Structure 1
Amino acid sequence: MKPLVRNAALSSYIEVSQSLGIDPRSLMKRVGLDPVGLAVQDRWISGVAVTQLLELSAAASRREDFGLLLAERRRFSNLGPISLVVREEPDVRSAIELLVRHEYMYNEMLHSRLSEARGLGTLKVSLEVGEVMAARQGIELTVGAFHQILRGFLGSRWQPVSVCFTHGAPADAGTHQRIFGPVVEFDREFNGIVFYANDLNAPNPMSDPLLRTYARQYFDSIAVSRDTTVLDRVRDLIEVLLPTGRCSIEQVACSLGVDRRTVHRHLSASGETFSSLLNMTRTQLAEQLVANPRRSLTEISELLGFSAPSAFSRWFSERFGCSPREWRNRRARQQPCTEE
C-alpha cells in the first residue's frame, strides 16, 4: 500500500491557493481529492495525491515557494493528537525525538532522523512517496514545518546554522530567506536543518510538569501501531469519500495506490467486504447524524452518499426498522426503535 497522510498536511491550502489567484477545488479534483474532506483534519488521504497537488499548485500559481507559504502557517495543532504530548515534553530534544519516533502517526511518507556530532545537531528529512515523482514542494513544506516547530520551542529570534535542500535554488529566493534567514542552502547532500546541539537541551517553555504525566497517559491510550491495517485505512477513506458521492471501491483503491482486486483481497482476509464496511460506516454515521435535529434529512442523505433522500429513507428503514423521521422522533422521546 502506498503511504497516506493526514488531511492536516493540507492545512491552509484553500486559503493560500485563493490568495495566489488559483482555483484549489479544481486542482484537488484533478488528483482525486475532495475539498470538503479537508474539514476533518484527522482523516487520511493519499500521499501521492498530496505530493502531486502541491506541484500542480506551484506551477499554476507560478510560485516556487508554494510549499513554504503553507509551512509558514503551520501550528502545533496540525500534528494532531501527538501535539498535546509534544507540548508537555520537558526539553527540545525529547520533543523532537518524540516527533521523529512517531512520525507515522501524522505522515506515512515522512522519514526523519535526528543526529548529533561535533557540537551540531542535524534533522534530516525525506519523503518516500512510493513512486518516482517531483516532490520539491512537499520537501520544502516538511522542512519549513519542522523549522516552525523548532522556533515554537526556541523563540522567534532563533536561527539554525543552515537549512539545506538537495534541489536547486529558485529564481527568487526571497521567501526562503525571509523564513529561514541567510543560512538557506541549495544543491546540498540532504534535506533538513542543522543547528547547535545545545539547542536541544533548551527547556520547553510551553511544558507544564503537572500535565506531563496526564499527557503521556493520553498518548499511550491513542498511540497506534506503525502497521495500521488495510481495514482501518479503507474504513477511514469510506468516511471521507461518502459526502463526495464518489465512494466506490475503485476510488478507495486509487487513494491507496493499488487496484480494486488488492483491496478485495485484504478485506477478504479480514472477513469483510467493501459493501459490509460501507454499510457499517453508514450505519454508525446515520445514528449520529439523524439524532441531531439541526441536520435536515436531505443534508444527511447527501453526507451519507445517497443519490436522493428517498434512497436514504429506504436504506435507513431496512437497517433500523423505521423511517429516519420516526427514528429521530422516538430518539427525542428516548424511545429508539430496535435495530434489525
Structure 2
Amino acid sequence: MAKPLARYATMSTYPAVAHSVGLDPARFIRDVGLNPSGIAMPDRWVPATSIAELLHRSAVASGHDDFGIALAEQRRLSALGPLSLVIREEPDVRSALRMLMRYEHMYNEALHITMSEADGLATLKLSLDVGSDVPVVQSIDFAIGVLCRLMRDLRGATWYPLSVTLRRFAPHDPSTHHQILGPNVSFDGTFDGLTVYARDLDAPNALSDPEMRSYAAAFLASLDVERHDRATERVRRVVEVLLPSGRCSVVQVARSLGVDRRTVHRQLASEATTFTSVVNDVRMGMARHLVGQKRHSLTEVAELLSFSSPGNFSRWFRTQFGCSPTQWRSRSGDAERAVSGAYTPGTQPALP
C-alpha cells in the first residue's frame, strides 16, 4: 500500500517556530530525510510520516510539548494551495467545511475529517494515518489548530468552538492550546476534534465575495481532483522528494509507494511512460526553478538534481533547454531587471 503524502506547504511555519525554541530547522528537516530547500516549493508532496516524525522530534528536542499547536498559530488559508481559492468563496461555513472534507486529498492524504450533527450541535472529528508507527500527537495538535484557525477565519476573529477534545495527555503548560483553541479544551478524551453549535455552520462565510464565487467554482472544475491519482503522478511526487537526497532509484521509489519495482514499471507502462521519463520531467521542472531562482550555486543545483558532476548537469541542461545553465541564469536576471525598469524599451531579453 502506498504511503500517504502531504504538501510541503504543511511545513511553511516550521522554520520560524523551530528557531523560536532554539532548534536548527534545516538540520531537523534533513534528519527526517527531507530537503530544507523544499520549503520554497509548497506544492511539492512529501511523505506524511516524515512530517509527523519532524514534529515529534522537534517537540522532544525542544522540550516544548505544545510545538504542534504553536505551528498552527501563524498558518494561513493559502497553505491549502489551489483549494483555498475555492473555500474562501463558499457562501457559508458549512459549505466551506464540506469542500475542505471532500477535497482533503488535495492537501494531505493522511488526514481525514468527518462531521456529525445532533441536538443542535455539530462535531468534527479528525484522524491521521501516516502509514507508519511514528507518534502523531504533535501532528494531531497541528491539524486541530489549523482547523480551528480556519473556522475562525470563516466565522470571525472572536469566534471559538464550544469545546475541543484531544486524546493526548495534557501538556505541562496548556496556555498555547487555550490561546489557539479557546478556553474549553479537554485532554485524555475519546476522540480528536471540536464541537460547535450547528447554527454556526450556517453563518455567512466572512471571507466570501459573492461576485467571485462563480469564478472559484469554474476554477475547481478545471482541476484534476480524482482521489485515486494516476500512477505517474504518485511516482512524480515521490521522485520530487527523493531526487535532492541522491536516493532516487526505482527501487527506493517503489519502497516509498509500498510496492515492488516491477509494479512501478508496469503501472507506468500502462500510462505510456517510463520511470526514466518521469525522473527527467521532474528534473526539468526543478532545474527551471532552481537555476532561475539563484538561491543555490550551479554546483549545488547539480547536486540537488542528483548529477554526478556539474559538467554532466551542464551537458544535460543544454540538451533539454538549448543553452547552458549559466546562460539561462543570466537571461533570467536580465528579464527580472527588464520588468523592474532597469532596461530601456526594445532591449528586454527573452528567456529561452
TM-score if structure 1 supplies the norm length? 0.87
Q: Say if 2:94 is the partner of 1:93.
A: yes
Distance 1:179 1:285 in 2: 36
What letter corresponds to residue 161 of structure 2 in structure 1?
Answer: P
- 2:278 aligns with 277
Alignment deviations for residues 34-82 of structure 1 (CA, whole Å, 9 cap, x no partner):
1111111111100111111111111011111110000111111011111
- Counterpart of 2:339 in structure 1 is none
Which string of whole-angstrom CA distances, capped at 9 and with x for unpartnered residues, describes residues 198-222 of structure 1?
1011111221111100011011112
Contact 2:149 2:180 in 1 (8 A): no
Does the 8 Å contact 1:44/1:233 carry over to 2? Answer: no
**Amino acid corresponding to residue 188 of structure 2 in structure 1:** D
Deviates more, 1:38-47 or 1:264-273: 264-273
Q: Tell me the distance in 2 between the aligned counterparts of 1:322 and 1:150.
A: 49
Which residue in 2 is equivalent to 1:187?
A: 188
CA distance in 2, matches of 1:200, 1:103: 19
Deviates more, 1:208-217 or 1:123-132: 123-132
CA distance in 1, matches of 2:66, 2:49: 20
Paired residues for 1:15-30 under 5 Å: 15-30=16-31
* Most deviating of 279-288 and 26-35: 279-288
- 1:281 partner SS: helix
Q: Which residue of structure 1 lines up, in the alignment, with residue 344 of structure 2?
A: none
Deviations 1:209-264 (A, max 9, x none): 11100011011112421011231122233344444555443553454455555544
Equivalent residue for 1:112? 113
Gaps of 5+ in 2: 333-347
Aligned to 1:49: 50
Partner in structure 1 of residue 307 of structure 2: 306
2:125 and 2:193 in contact (8 A); partners too: yes
In 2, the alpha carbon distance for the partners of 1:296 and 1:136 equals: 38
The answer to whether the 8 A contact 1:31-1:49 is kept is yes
Letter in 2 for 1:163: V
Aligned AA for 1:274? F
> Partner amino acid for 2:144?
V
Say if 1:4 and 1:256, in contact at 8 Å, map to a contact too: no
Following TM superposition, the consecutive aligned residue runs of length 4 or more in structure 1 with deviations greater than 6 angstroms are 287-296, 325-336
Matching residue of 1:214: 215
Q: Which moved more, 1:261-270 or 1:108-117?
A: 261-270
* CA spacing shift, 1:25–1:89, aligned 2, 3 Å: same
Change (3 A) 1:327 1:14: closer
Q: Within 5 Å, which residues of 2 pair with 1:62-141? A: 62-141=63-142
Amino acid at match of 1:197: A
Identity %: 51
**TM-score scaled by structure 2?**
0.84
Q: Distance in 2 between matches of 1:315 and 1:192?
A: 50
Q: Which amino acid aligns with 2:70?
A: L
**SS in structure 2 of the partner of residue 37 of structure 1:** helix
Residues 172 and 245 of structure 1, relative CA distance in 2, 3 Å threshold: same
Residue 29 of structure 1 aligns with an amino acid whose one-letter code is R
Instruction: Tell me the amino acid that sits aligned with residue 173 of structure 1.
Output: P
